[in-house]
Amino acid sequence: MAKKSPSDSISIELLNYPQSLLLGNQDYELSFSVKNNSESIESYAFNFTSTTSDISVDKSYIKGVSFNSGESKIVPVKIRPKIEGLTELNVIIYYQKKIEFKSMDWKIKKNVEKSIVSKIIGKTQVNFDDLKGYKKKLPKSISLGDIPSLSKSKAKKELDKIKSVPSIKVHTREIERKIITQVPKTITKQVPEKIIKKIPRVIEEIIPQEPLVNAINGKKFERPPLKTTKTVYESIEETVMKTVTETVYEEKIETKIDIVEDTTLPSKKGEITLKQKDETLSRIAKGVFNQDPQYAFAIVKMISDPNKRYANISQFVPPGIRLDSKTTIEAVMGLDLGPQKEALIEIIANSLAAEKPDEAAMIALNIDNIAKRDEIITNIIFTAAYLKPQIASNLIYQLSKKELQHQILFELVKGWAHKDKKRAIESLKSLISNILSESNIELIKTCMIFLAYLTDPQSVYDLIDGFRSKDDKSLLVEQLQEYLKVKVQTKKIKLESQELSKLYFTFTAISKKITPALNYLVELKGNISSNLIEGNISSNIIVICPFKFNFPIFMNFQSCYVELLQETQKTFGFLLFPSKENYSEEELKHFHNILNNFIKNQTNQHPSPFVIINLDLIPYFSKPTIFLGDNGDPLIKDIHSKLKGNFTNEINLMINNSFFSQGKSFIELQNILKEPNFRICNIILTYNFLNDIGLLKTFFKAILS
């Protein structure tokens, strides 16, 4: 059997052509039935367009839909008119011809090559020292040499000997400094209301001074008494006196004595110098340290020479970490040791890295040298990476540079890849999202490749699809292509669209001035011709059908309306008002409203009156029949003549002057559409005209002539 041509392979039909007027305040769903008449699977695309209505259709039908042989599909199209009059819908159907061809394309690999992964793992982004064994390498005690080991009690006795020495070689020199100050003083005196006579008098006072006490040995030094003078005023009362207060200022002279150590004087028996005292304290601290580090640190604090104090502390810290870490940390952090303190902080931080990495990092933050601080924290992070991975991850953000943070996190991910794959994947995705906005393309690419190794290359491209920036997407796809894709030859099928047919549908519509009468007309499934809506009727013939039937008649009228307009540039107007209540008061109100708005008030007037055809339909006769109601108007004979001239013997044409000449609808039309602008006549057609569109078209053409 010969294969059907593409143009015959598909059929399309509008199943629910609207019989009523379309209003612009709602959507109407049109259902198109499409059938594939081909004996093979075919693909078709549909293009629905309109310049006078808003339309919406499933995009899949626009791109193309596959139909099995003989398969039918319903294509729903929503339409909402946006003009007054005739709105259109255009449909173009395309046959999508399948064309097979070969192409070299990049295909995503199933996994990353081992050589690429090995290269990434082997290349270290950051150098670091593992501190897990650092604390064990520290000494457990200090070397005493010739210093005897002391218990705490013996150390106390040795310390008491220093305190009980009769005198210490600390001689004083008294340096007198005279200080003169103005001292305010408030006095009470009698003052006359009118005259006052002031008599000054100087008073000398001797104030004894407390002796000075030497802070080291308690020795007292006497100070001479302080001599001061003050001036007071006496008043002589000559008239009425009153009591007032007044502030006066006195000069106060005092002598200040400074006590300083005089090392130039010769030593007396039993005295020791500060240097000797520091050396003794140092020996006691060392002797007791291995037994009681806390007491040893307390003794070191008594040493006056900062250099000697630091020498002892630095010797105590390494073993102190092992013997009593808490005391050692408190001693170092509590003393002002200057820049030398940072070396001790490093020892403490390194020793705590394995057991307490978070505490170690906090201690390291006390180092002012940024490079040194980052180096120590880096070592702490890598030491804790497997023991306490969550803490290690958090400590990364204590580093000063973002680039270093990213590099270290990637190194941690590489380490976690085999032991904690889930953590590695989550951390790597987080790292990628954080560095996207930065310019380190090489690190981003490396992270992406390693993520593909941990998951699969496809998941990496899925991740890239979620990025917002188009530039980031295109750059990454280009950078990763040689690592995650491979070029392969594939067979492809492309669809070449060929236009099969065009369909054109029109519907009468009103989009803006929607009245209750129009809503009622739509409810009745009634309609109005577009020329009456637009107010540009091209003839003086208006057909009104005010009766209800059990079948739709709009399409019959609309087909004749459109064809006559295309053929003769002239057509009739029509109103279909299928009454359901036999023109009750409410229904009659709506009917009159429509007659007034769309017929009586037509702006495009004609030189001759409008001819209103009050049309009714009756059941079939054996021969198509037309009844004219003769109401005495010469118009009837004119119409009869036109009909007779256009029809031959295929119809019966009858005039009746009684039964068909008047009626309720005729009277209602006369009440609204009055002469001389309107002339009304009754015409009745049998159903035969509805079944033969040619006869109906000839009828309308005749009355238009």
Strand order in the sheet with 65-67: 22-23, 485-510, 85-108, 42-49, 65-67
Output the CA torsion 54→60→64→68 (10° steps). -120
- Distance, in Å, from the CA atom of 651 to the CA atom of 251, rounded to the nearest integer, reads 147
Supply the pLDDT for residue 103: 84
Residue 25's SS3 state is coil
Supply the pLDDT for residue 170: 44
- Distance, in Å, from the CA atom of 691 to the CA atom of 556, rounded to the nearest integer, reads 9
**pLDDT tens readout for residues 356-388:** 999 999 999 998 899 999 999 999 999 998 889
What H or E segment, with its residue span, contains residue 393?
Answer: helix 389-395
Locate 560 and state its tokens: 């004749």
Locate 387 and state its tokens: 């023991």
Q: What is the pairing mode between strands 485-510 and 85-108? A: antiparallel
Reference 443, options 476, 485, 395; nearest CA is 476
CA distances from 635 to 65, 302, 610 (A): 58, 137, 11
Supply the pLDDT for residue 571: 92
Reported for 495-499, long-range contacts at CB under 8 A and 24+ positions apart, including other chains, are 495/43, 495/64, 495/96, 495/97, 495/98, 495/99, 496/96, 496/97, 496/99, 497/45, 497/64, 497/94, 497/95, 497/96, 497/97, 498/6, 498/94, 498/95, 498/96, 498/97, 499/92, 499/93, 499/94, 499/95
Supply the pLDDT for residue 190: 61
Q: Which residue has better confidence, 246 or 67?
A: 67
Report CA 547 to chain centroid distance, whole Å.
Answer: 61
- Distance, in Å, from the CA atom of 693 to the CA atom of 557, rounded to the nearest integer, reads 9
Locate 584 and state its tokens: 């009750």
Q: Kindly report which listed range (190-204, 252-266, 629-643) carries the lowest average pLDDT score.
A: 252-266
Q: Which residue has better confidence, 230 or 551?
A: 551
Report CA 316 to chain centroid distance, whole Å.
Answer: 57
In this structure, what DSSP letter does residue 597 have? I
- Distance, in Å, from the CA atom of 480 to the CA atom of 485, rounded to the nearest integer, reads 8
- Distance, in Å, from the CA atom of 446 to the CA atom of 435, rounded to the nearest integer, reads 12
Supply the pLDDT for residue 187: 59
Q: Taking phi first (over 0 means left), then psi (-120 to 50 degrees means alpha), and beta for anything else, what does residue 632 get?
A: left
In this structure, what DSSP letter does residue 337 have? -
Supply the pLDDT for residue 69: 92
Reference 503, options 36, 81, 46; nearest CA is 46
**pLDDT tens readout for residues 6-33:** 567 889 999 999 999 999 999 999 999 9
- Distance, in Å, from the CA atom of 562 to the CA atom of 567, rounded to the nearest integer, reads 9
- Distance, in Å, from the CA atom of 254 to the CA atom of 559, rounded to the nearest integer, reads 129
In the predicted structure, residue 698 carries a pLDDT above the cut 60: yes
- Side chain identity, residue 2: A
What does the angle CA 612 – CA 615 – CA 620 come to, to the nearest 5 degrees? 160
CA distances from 124 to 415, 438, 529, 558 (A): 11, 21, 83, 82
Q: Kindly report which listed range (8-12, 45-49, 176-180, 396-400) carries the lowest average pLDDT score.
A: 176-180
Supply the pLDDT for residue 251: 56
In the predicted structure, residue 532 carries a pLDDT above the cut 50: yes
Does residue 363 contact residue 390 with C-beta atoms inside 8 Å? no
Share of the chain above pLDDT 70, in %: 82
Most confident of 171-180, 321-330, 480-489: 321-330
Report the pLDDT averaged over residues 29-41: 92
Who's near 22: CB < 8 A, 6+ residues apart? 28, 79, 81, 87, 507, 508, 509, 510
Q: Kindly report which listed range (264-268, 293-297, 493-497) carries the lowest average pLDDT score.
A: 264-268
Report the pLDDT averaged over residues 550-571: 91
Q: What values do phi and psi take at 541, rounded to 5? A: -100, 125
Q: Kindly report which listed range (310-324, 332-346, 535-549) carries the lowest average pLDDT score.
A: 332-346
Supply the pLDDT for residue 245: 52
- Distance, in Å, from the CA atom of 23 to the CA atom of 131, rounded to the nearest integer, reads 82
Locate 246 and state its tokens: 């007044």
Which band of pLDDT confidence, cut at 50, 70 and 90, is reported for residue 171?
Answer: very low
**pLDDT tens readout for residues 206-258:** 656 555 443 333 445 455 565 555 555 555 555 555 555 555 545 555 554 44
> Mean of the per-residue pLDDT values for the chain?
82
In the predicted structure, residue 450 carries a pLDDT above the cut 50: yes
Does residue 431 contact residue 445 with C-beta atoms inside 8 Å? no
Residue 614, judged by CB atoms within 10 A of its CB (0-12, 13-18, 19+), counts as buried
Instruction: List 498's β-bridge partners, or say none.
Output: 95
Residue 296, judged by CB atoms within 10 A of its CB (0-12, 13-18, 19+), counts as buried
CA distances from 53 to 50, 56, 116, 141, 522 (A): 6, 10, 59, 95, 18
- Distance, in Å, from the CA atom of 343 to the CA atom of 315, rounded to the nearest integer, reads 12
Does residue 239 contact residue 194 with C-beta atoms inside 8 Å? yes
Q: Kindly report which listed range (221-235, 307-321, 623-637) carries the lowest average pLDDT score.
A: 221-235
Who's near 351: CB < 8 A, 6+ residues apart? 131, 134, 135, 138, 321, 325, 360
Report the pLDDT averaged over residues 611-628: 92
**pLDDT tens readout for residues 85-130:** 999 999 999 998 888 888 888 888 888 888 888 888 888 878 888 8
- Distance, in Å, from the CA atom of 138 to the CA atom of 398, rounded to the nearest integer, reads 27
Residue 2's SS3 state is coil
For 6-103+498-502, which CATH class? Answer: mainly beta
Supply the pLDDT for residue 334: 82
Supply the pLDDT for residue 164: 59
CATH of 515-704, one of 1.10.1660, 1.20.120, 3.40.630, 3.40.449: 3.40.630
H-type helices in 396-440, by residue range?
402-419, 421-435
In this structure, what DSSP letter does residue 600 have? I
Q: What values do phi and psi take at 225, rounded to 5? A: -65, 155
Q: What values do phi and psi take at 379, rounded to 5? A: -60, -40
Supply the pLDDT for residue 198: 53
Residue 164's SS3 state is coil
Q: Parse the chain into domains and list their residue ranges.
A: 6-103+498-502, 175-258, 515-704
Q: Which residue has better confidence, 594 or 494?
A: 594
Locate 337 and state its tokens: 């040791």
Reference 467, options 501, 437, 424; nearest CA is 437
**pLDDT tens readout for residues 383-393:** 998 889 889 88
Who's near 137: CB < 8 A, 6+ residues apart? none
- Distance, in Å, from the CA atom of 691 to the CA atom of 553, rounded to the nearest integer, reads 10
- Distance, in Å, from the CA atom of 377 to the CA atom of 398, rounded to the nearest integer, reads 8
Q: Can you tell me which residue has the tokens 């020199």? A: 173
- Side chain identity, residue 492: K
- Distance, in Å, from the CA atom of 532 to the CA atom of 571, rounded to the nearest integer, reads 11
pTM, two decimal places: 0.47
Supply the pLDDT for residue 336: 74
Q: Which residue has better confidence, 656 or 222?
A: 656
